[in-house]
A and B are shown apart, each in its own frame.
Chain A
């Protein structure tokens, strides 16, 4: 087992823009249409150049660090997205098909999978390790495992950011993600955070599992969004309820996630 604490959390979708709105949505509140995403952390000049994928990630990463009260320069980062920035891939592949020499240099450097952690490190001044990974439909499990192992082995807080974008039309042939969803969990080694939200245990089991059905929140199940299988665990975190979740990790392995709360701390209520 790999044992860490969850010290902070961030979440964003077009239906809830932060943890409080997510909790309201769980309680049945009707969502208002979200405004433009403007992560304060990125300076306005940079924000204009930053793609939506980066703004989503940096927003939830910032939310998680603020909730934890942990300085952004003290955390390593693991960014996980199964499909990456499909909007930029769509732009680049369309441009290459029509007029390849017209590829925008800014969009090209923004196309790297580690763009979000790049902007994050520039905005925060953090020199700590920054990772960017994909495990396709298993990205949530792989990213949480990678982050937790790093947190324990290196004894450093690891900010795990997860996001998927809506699929542009040509990508609908292979993935039908309709709505974006991003979340970030700040995982800390045991004893690091004074008042963590919850304890998270991760265990790897050598058998295949099916992806659990996503729960419906705020009128959507976030169909075919690879982040959505984490929603039941996030809901349990919001309710302060112990829970277990099994997520497929690879074709022959399953990640068991167990969420527990110290008796006194229904801290996610904070």
Chain B
């Protein structure tokens, strides 16, 4: 991922998803369908859980979880997953093959798969973590909100650590659903570009371990704050003044005890829909000084919905760790009359404090604030 961002290499491709004839671009993770789940969790088979398993095998995460279980014990670790559509792709398959009796064929009768907690169940079974476990599903803010819940659990003493994650996989519900709202672009998505005309759907999976501060001797990155809000405006259109977005950002700054001018980088929701980008820029303009580094990375990944929160949190944390701030891929002709101009080119610069925005249907908003330790 770091190399792709550095080289400005997008993961978007022309739509080639099976059973889907829409003219659009997608962020499909290569080879998800051939991932084999461990025997013990084979009953949880779905594309979403295949992607969840692929994600767990990245960057030594399984080793980190094993070490964490040694350190605090599996009972003192919680799981909070985020997803928009969970394993609905598997349900779609079952419906394509319904029996004349209107029943699912036997191989699809997976009670622990056809539900919203499927990712939480999968991660719990495959990691052996035994503490409280739930799955948040608030559309595109899902896996940003996992950080807020996890922080509360740890502050409350409920657990010592939380494995947070997000996973959403490509499925027809989402592609045809967003298509019905005329939000899917036939072009590559172009966040904050004046030619932008919609989103590209992607899939992704990410995890992070949040640990009680006094137990985290070697930590170099910190969750400093979070903000959660509701637009109270419309189910699928953001508040025209960006009220909810502004509330989420303001609260995250307050909890982190930061001023807007302290923030070195903001990873934006930046979906490349007409409304989101205009309104997000409007909200940013009310809080941040011009020139603050801020970008949407959806030109690399597409919009990975319920997994976008943690994906973009990880991109933000990587930027902090390596002093490499991503620009906004595919933004070639930026909107000039926006209240806030985004960063187009990648920038090499130390980032001590950073934020990331995630806004979802139902007017559900979340902003996270992170800090990096001094060298």
Interface residues of A (CB under 8 A from B): 2, 81-84, 89, 92-94, 96-97, 100-101, 103-105, 108-115, 117-119, 121-122, 124-136, 138-139, 142-143, 145-146, 149-150, 152-154, 169-175, 204, 206, 249-253
Contact = CB atoms under 8 A, between A and B. Distances in A.
Nearest to B239: A127
A114 to B, nearest CB: 4
B132 A142 contact: yes
A97 B145 CA distance: 32
Contacts of A110: 235
B329 to A, nearest CB: 27
Nearest to B86: A134
8 contacts: A92-B173, A112-B138, A113-B84, A117-B230, A118-B363, A129-B229, A130-B138, A175-B114
Contacts of B152: 149-150, 153-154
A153 B134 CA distance: 18
A152 B88 CA distance: 34
Interface stretch (B28-36, B89-97, B192-200, B334-342): B89-97
Interface in B213-234: 228-234
Interface string B115-152: 11100110011000111111111110000010011001
Chain B: interface size category: 35 or more
Contact of A127 (B95, B138, B229): B229
A2 B176 CA distance: 44
Given A121-B232, A135-B120, A251-B130, 18 more contacts: A82-B116, A89-B88, A94-B95, A104-B180, A108-B177, A108-B181, A111-B177, A122-B232, A127-B229, A129-B229, A130-B230, A135-B117, A149-B158, A150-B152, A153-B156, A170-B95, A174-B109, A253-B131
B67 to A, nearest CB: 19
A135 B179 CA distance: 30
B244 interface: yes
B74 interface: yes
A134 B133 contact: no
Contact of A96 (B95, B129, B158, B244): B95
B95 A101 contact: no
B108 interface: yes
Contacts of B95: 93-94, 96-97, 170
Contacts of A128: 229-230
Nearest to A142: B134
Contacts of B114: 171, 174-175
Contacts of B180: 101, 103-105, 108
Contact of A251 (B111, B124, B233): B124
A109 B236 contact: yes
Contact of B111 (A125, A145, A174): A174
**Most B-side CB within 10 Å, residue of A117, A127, A172, A253:** A127
B345 interface: no
A149 B78 CA distance: 14
A97 B363 CA distance: 29
B103 interface: yes
A4 to B, nearest CB: 12
Interface string B17-36: 00110000000000000000
B361 interface: yes
Contacts of B155: 153
Nearest to A152: B156
A23 B229 CA distance: 35
Given A92-B177, A96-B176, A121-B231, A206 B75 contact: yes
B247 to A, nearest CB: 6
Contacts of B288: none
A156 B120 CA distance: 27
